Structures are given as C-alpha cells and as structure tokens.
C-alpha cells in the first residue's frame, strides 16, 4: 500500500475518523506511533512518517501510543481483489493467531505457495506474516494488560506467546518495557472473576439501532437475546482442539466509537477468536464513508434512501447462521426462528449463564455429524423437512472435512461455488450466505421476494441492471431495501 505523506498529514491534522485504521503515523521526535485520530498535539510534518499497518510502524522501531492505543484501530475492509489474498491471510491470523497452523499450512489452505504468500503479504502490509502476527500478539497482550486485571501469565497464554518469559523478552525488545510496566502505567481494568470487558473500535457513523432491530427479529430463543441496547448470546467454540463454552454481551459506546464486549471467563483462552467473531458479526471493519458515497443517491420508491452508518449483519457462528438460512427457505422469519429454537433445545447443550434468557448452545458441526443416519429421523420430528435435513447434514460434513470454510478469513467467491455444489443450496441461499456467513459486501440476491417488492416488482433482468450502479456495495443496498420494506410494510425478510 502506497501512502502519500501530504494527504496523510492533512488527514492527521483533521483527525478525520474515516482514516482511522487506514494508516498509522510514526513520530520521530517521540519514537511513538499513533492512529490519525489521536488527540495529542499534532506533530510537525518533518517528524512524521506514515505506515499501512501497526506492524510496519513497529518494524521501523516505533512504540504504540498509550493515549490513542493502536490496538483498537478498526481493520481494513477493501474489496480490491489484488489485495484479497493478503487480507484473507491477515483475517485468519487475527481470528485464531494460527493456534493450530504454521504459515506454510496457512498458505496451503489458501491455495498458494508459502513463498508467494510471504511476498504478497509483505507488499500489502510492509512486513512478513510472522512479524505481523507477532505484532498482533503484542497488541492483544497490551489490550489485556490495559483493560483487565488478568494475571500476566494468563495474558501471555491467551495472547498466544506460550510463556511469560517469551512475552517479557518480546516486550523488552519492542517497547523497552515489561508487561507489568504497562499495567502500572495504565491502571487496572474493570473485570471480575466471571468476565472481562474489552473494547473494539469502529468508524462512525454506526446505525446501531437498525442493526439490533435486524438481529432481534432473527434471534434464536435460548441461544441469543437482543434488546434495545445490547446483544447477548451463548458461545461454543473450539480452540487448540478444546471445546469451550460460555457467553458474550455486546453494547455500543457511541461517545468513544467502540463496542464494549463482555466475555465470560470460560472463553478467556480463545479471546482473540471471540473478538474476531464479534468484529465480523457487527461489521466493525466497515468503511461507512466509502459506502455512503456510493449509495447516498439510492432512491427507489418513496422514502427509500440509504441510512448513513448502515452495517452488514454478519454472524458469530457460521454453521448456526447457515443452518438458520436453510431453515428459512420459503418460510417466514418467525417460523424459521421456531425451527432453530427446537434444534437448539433438542440437540444443543444446556449452559448456565447470568442471563435467564440464555440457556443452551446451538448444536455444533460435530454434534450433527454424530447423529445416526438417516438424519431425517432426528430433525423430522422438529418440523424440518427431509430435504432441508439432508442439506444440513451435507453442510456439517463439508465443514467437518474442511471442504468448505465460512466466517472471517474465508474466500467469498470460492466458498460461494462450494456452497452452490451442496444439495438444497440454490442461488438465493448462496447469495444470502455470502452476505452474512462470508461477509461479502457485493452479494445480491436479485430473485429475493423482499428485493423485488421493494423495487416495485420489476423484472429480474432490470433489477440486475439497476443493481450494477450499487457495486461493489450491493449487500448494503440489499439490506437497505429490506429495511425500507420492513418499515413501510411491517414485513421481515429472510
């Protein structure tokens, strides 16, 4: 990524939040690097150098600012295919810290050679994947030290260092400080023995209420609970081969442009995976300015305009989301919720949480694969048709074997082809999953009932022609159409 120093300095002077996470500034006079929104006094231009990533800034010898905290900067969400490979690799490393893979294995899973991945990654981020991953671990540890009172040993393990000695050595090399120095400098966190609360930043504006309305209509009783201010859910996640279960609670803090994520203590070892999934669910890497610039003129029917800060609802559990989409084929949102609730109650695992609405985790891929054949004997009594039961089983087997990958770090175009090859996955289902289970910003289910109704039931070929004007943000345009239809007709789609 090439950065124009004059343009970056202008953005730095303006402290424009739209540039947050798109570059970092290293200040030669202090040896510190900051986000462009840092509230410290703007340094002189001759003392500034600009970097495409926090890792590149640290590789040049700069330390992270304790005021603006670079570890909170939102990530990039560009669509340019030239950068997609490097971004997919970065998303996967961010999601699990390569807890079960090497860089070579990561490259193989992406369909490229180790050497090619390193070359492309260095061109995009200015450093090797190993250096980038080390920086992510450093910043993750710094956030845990800054915002929690977790023991230093636990921070070292949860951040992926493997030992306190290794974390201490790397902190001294990079920051000339020990982990304990960060805690003494910044004070204690606000966690308890049962949970910790961490912050994830986003670029404003953020249509939080609209996003929660979408999620509350589709929340699975017992698994999810959504009210006017926050989202809660149970969690079943695998980390280093160990199944971990717990809960999360997410609330918006608009005065700081962050969401506060409360995580149960049982999920601490998988904290990076949990936070990556929260980012994906709430589309925190979104660049709302770029999307609004493209879709601001979207006027289809009376009162149908694009809402600034609209986010694309992703998912926390890709398997759960995909099963929910299968169940929702050609039936109402309420009916699909009922079927998903029955599946969770019958095949999920009970869990104790501080919230009376959260009582069970959704059945995992392994649970569905372990069901004796025919699968219809298990799902049929719940009201699931035979064809959809077989689709769910085929999906679970494909995920279990690694033939399909969903969620952060998946290649949307490749996985859309893989999904289309499964039984019962037609064009509508694939496009819907591209939006929510793959986070693809340019999906467009042109045959969708809600899309056609919101556009006045024009012919499909005309809908496709019209939608070309909205590329590469057609997923956001689709969501805008659904929201418009729901507001004016009290209809929930999908």
**Residues annotated as part of the active site:** 34, 448
Task: Compute the distance between CA of residue 170 and CA of residue 228 in angstroms, rounded to an integer.
Answer: 43
CA dihedral (180, 181, 182, 187) positive or negative = positive
Per-residue b/e over 225-258, b at no fewer than 16 CB within 10 Å? bbeeebbbbbbbbebeeeebbbbbbbebeeeebb
Please name which of 393, 396, 223 lies closest in space to residue 315, comparing C-alpha atoms.
Answer: 223
Q: Is residue 32 within 8 Å of 65, Cβ to Cβ?
A: yes
Q: CA-to-CA distance for 147 and 159, rounded, in angstroms?
A: 14
Task: Give yes or no for a contact between 382 and 346, defined as CB atoms under 8 angstroms apart.
Answer: yes
Q: Scanning the structure block, which residue is given the tokens 């149908």?
A: 304
CB 95 within 8 A of CB 277: yes
- Within 13 Å, how many C-alpha atoms sit on residue 338's CB side? 8
Taking the C-alpha atoms of residue 113 and residue 132, their distance in angstroms, rounded to an integer, is 18
Of 435, 431, 440, 442, which is closest to residue 473 (Cα–Cα)? Answer: 442
Residue 201: both structure tokens together: 């930043």
Angle made by CA atoms 341, 347, 353, in degrees to the nearest 5: 70
> Both ends of the chain: CA-CA distance in Å?
38
The rounded distance, in Å, linking the Cα atoms of 239 and 100 is 8
With beta carbons less than 8 A apart as the criterion, state whether 174 and 99 touch: no
Strand partners, 248: 233, 263
Beta strands 32-34 and 63-64, pairing class: parallel
Sheet of 258-264: strand order equals 195-201, 258-264, 242-253, 230-239, 224-226
DSSP-derived 3-state class of residue 216: helix
Query: What does the alpha-carbon distance between residue 293 and residue 289 come to, in Å, rounded to a whole number?
Result: 6
- CA nearest to 117, candidates 137, 141, 98: 98
Distance CA 224, CA 313 (A): 14
């Amino acid at each position: 990524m090439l950065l124009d120093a004059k343009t970056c300095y202008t953005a730095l002077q303006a402290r424009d939040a739209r540039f947050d996470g798109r570059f970092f500034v290293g200040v030669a006079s202090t040896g510190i690097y900051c986000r462009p929104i840092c509230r410290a006094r703007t340094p002189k231009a001759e003392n500034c150098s600009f970097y495409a990533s926090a890792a590149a800034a640290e590789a040049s010898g700069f330390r992270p600012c304790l005021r603006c905290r670079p570890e909170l900067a939102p990530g990039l969400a560009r669509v340019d295919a030239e950068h997609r490979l490097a971004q997919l690799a970065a998303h996967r490393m961010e999601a699990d810290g390569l807890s079960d893979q090497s860089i070579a294995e990561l490259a193989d899973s992406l369909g490229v050679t180790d050497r090619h991945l390193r070359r492309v990654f260095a061109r995009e981020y200015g450093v090797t994947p190993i250096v980038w991953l080390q920086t992510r671990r450093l910043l993750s540890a710094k956030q845990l030290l800054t915002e929690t009172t977790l023991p230093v040993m636990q921070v070292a393990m949860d951040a992926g260092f493997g030992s306190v000695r290794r974390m201490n050595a790397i902190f001294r090399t990079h920051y000339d400080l020990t982990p304990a120095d960060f805690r003494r400098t910044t004070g204690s966190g606000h966690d308890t023995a049962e949970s910790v609360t961490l912050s994830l930043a986003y670029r404003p504006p953020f249509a939080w209420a609209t996003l929660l309305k979408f999620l509350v209509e589709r929340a699975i009783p017992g698994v999810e609970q959504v009210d006017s201010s926050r989202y809660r859910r149970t969690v079943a996640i695998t980390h280093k081969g160990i199944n971990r279960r717990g809960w999360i609670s997410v609330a918006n803090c608009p005065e700081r442009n962050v969401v506060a994520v409360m995580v149960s203590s049982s999920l601490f070892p998988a904290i990076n995976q949990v936070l990556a999934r929260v980012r994906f669910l709430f589309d925190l890497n979104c660049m709302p300015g770029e999307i609004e610039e493209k879709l601001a003129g979207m006027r289809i029917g009376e009162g149908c305009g694009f809402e600034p800060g609209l986010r694309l609802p992703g998912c926390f559990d890709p398997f759960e989301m995909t099963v929910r989409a299968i169940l929702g084929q050609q039936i109402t949102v309420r009916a699909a919720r009922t079927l998903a609730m029955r599946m969770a109650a019958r095949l999920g695992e009970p869990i104790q949480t501080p919230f009376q609405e959260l009582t069970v985790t959704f059945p995992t891929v392994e649970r569905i694969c372990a069901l004796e054949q025919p699968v219809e004997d298990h799902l049929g009594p719940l009201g699931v048709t035979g064809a959809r039961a077989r689709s769910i089983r085929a999906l679970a087997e494909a995920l279990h074997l690694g033939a399909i990958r969903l969620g952060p770090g998946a290649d949307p175009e490749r996985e859309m082809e893989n999904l289309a090859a499964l039984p019962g996955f037609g064009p509508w289902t694939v496009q819907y999953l591209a939006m929510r289970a793959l986070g693809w910003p340019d999906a467009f289910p042109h045959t969708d009932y809600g899309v056609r109704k919101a556009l006045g039931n024009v012919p499909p070929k005309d809908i496709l022609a019209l939608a070309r004007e909205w590329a590469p943000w057609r997923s956001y345009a689709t969501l805008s159409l659904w929201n418009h239809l729901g507001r004016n007709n009290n209809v929930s789609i999908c």
